[in-house]
Amino acid sequence: MVRHQKIHFIAIGGSIMHSLAIELKRQGVEVSGSDDEIFEPSRSRLATHGLLPKQEGWFPERIHKDLDAVIVGMHAKADNPELQRAQSLGIPVYSFPEFIYRFAEDKQRIVVAGSHGKTTITSMIMHVLKHYGRSFDYVVGAKVEGFDNNIRLSEEAPVIIIEGDEYPAAVFKPEPKFFYYHPHITVISGIAWDHANVYPTEDEYVRQFEKLADLGSVKAGSIVYNKEDARLSSIVEGKERPDVSLIPYQTHPYRVQNGLYELKLPNKSYLAVEVFGKHNMANIAAAKAVCMRIGITEDMFYEAIRSFKGAQRRLQLISESPAISVFSDFAHAPSKVKASIGALKERNPERRLLACLELHTYSSLNRNFLPQYKDSMKAADLRAVYFNPAKLLQKGLPTLHADDIRNAFNDPELQVFDNSHQMQEFIEKQVEPGMNVLLMSSGNFDNLDLQAVGQKLCINS
């Protein structure tokens, strides 16, 4: 399909863009790229594969008529000189999702969308298909055990599993990425307002999923949706698409025994699984519904899912001692924060929970969005929030004070820090035997080594 082509990446350092660059090079594509800033782990991975630009910045002279295509990341602005030159030369320019669709146009496309659970559901489907040696391609937003890259593209695989998010595709394609994949099977896990920088109101955000439910699927496609989300159910079931099959799912029946989660099977027996939390039992139900549409039987699904350990930074156990356990989680939106805290309290009700959250995204630092966090951390015994005031300046947002955050969270006992090392000192003082510690962020608490923090807590407890 693309072997021997020459493709240039504008904003090659992005978390998913660099993975695509690596995969295309593996496919025999001559890859080049530029970016004005590249962070880890993208930097090291690009260097390992000989794709790290020698100099950061934008260089229009790298754009020439011999290029077969240019792929543009969301980070690139409309006035990017490389983008402008590519457009002036008439070189085909693609956003990330447009290129994936172009590559996978002749494959069965399964797209996992929704405000939460996308990565985990996608990973579960991947795990099950790999367990049975099925040939498939994939695009996923996190590192998954057993897979060496976030993207696999091939000529032979008949199906592709795509994590499809609602963030804009590119500066010149402002619609959500998931619109460009034209799925045969669409999964929608739920709707909870996010990305306030793009969708300033909840109504605007919800409207994207209304469009997905109405127009997203190809003819005679299927929509797998979370029946327990009343708003989502109303949207999906209210659409007049007689050609589209509606497949509702709900949280898989389960029980918790001594901290272990066990699925209740149709024959009334129980099956222990590695993941935990009610939200993951719902994710399992979604993955099962998809797998059963593509040739995996119910018994086959259960046999495979028992060994699924979860995606990286999704309630990931990073350090453990007989006395305490430390978890890292990607949770940043209110619904995710509440679900992750609830999962640990349900798993270990006898343990006290110290939960720490970094406000890192535009939405989480936005005064208008902050009240969405009301009571989201209340189930934890000790609660702390960290934010970096410099991020507010970078994002053009007004100053936040500790009381602003406490009021938004409806939590006068909430500890608020604007120095990550002070937050670490607080954690170290509060930790005691018989406790779980949960560190939640889509960032990294301003370069705190969470693995080292966890190990130190376990050694000292």
**pLDDT value of residue 312:** 80
Predicted TM-score of the model (pTM): 0.91
Q: CA 214, CA 194: separation in Å to the nearest integer?
A: 21
Domains 99-305 and 316-460 agree in fold = no
Three-class DSSP category at 94: strand
356: phi > 0 → left, psi -120 to 50 → alpha, else beta; which? beta
One-character DSSP codes across 117-134: SHHHHHHHHHHHHHHTT-
Q: CA 221, CA 181: separation in Å to the nearest integer?
A: 13
- Residues in the chain predicted with pLDDT less than 50, given as ranges, are none
Q: Whose CA is closest to 197, among 389, 357, 396?
A: 396
* CATH of 99-305 among 3.40.1190.10, 1.10.10.10, 1.20.1540.10, 3.40.50.150: 3.40.1190.10
CATH of domain 6-91: 3.40.50.720
Tokens linked to 124: 């579960």
The helix (run of H) or strand (run of E) holding residue 2 is none
Alpha helices in 271-411 (DSSP H): 278-291, 298-305, 334-347, 389-394, 402-409
In angstroms, the Cα distances linking 191 to 118, 123, 174, 232, 277 are 12, 20, 20, 7, 19
Three-class DSSP category at 297: coil
Q: CA 86, CA 32: separation in Å to the nearest integer?
A: 14
**pLDDT value of residue 242:** 87
The helix (run of H) or strand (run of E) holding residue 352 is strand 352-359
- For helices 17-26 and 96-104, the axis angle rounded to 10 degrees is 30
CATH of domain 316-460: 3.90.190.20
Exposure of 448 in the CB half-sphere (CA atoms within 13 A) = 27
Domain map (residue ranges) of the chain: 6-91, 99-305, 316-460
Q: CA 291, CA 295: separation in Å to the nearest integer?
A: 7
One-character DSSP codes across 385-415: EEE-HHHHHHTT-----HHHHHHHHT-TT-E
**pLDDT value of residue 443:** 83
**pLDDT value of residue 159:** 98
**pLDDT value of residue 1:** 62
In angstroms, the Cα distances linking 461 to 142, 319, 347, 432, 455 are 31, 12, 21, 6, 10
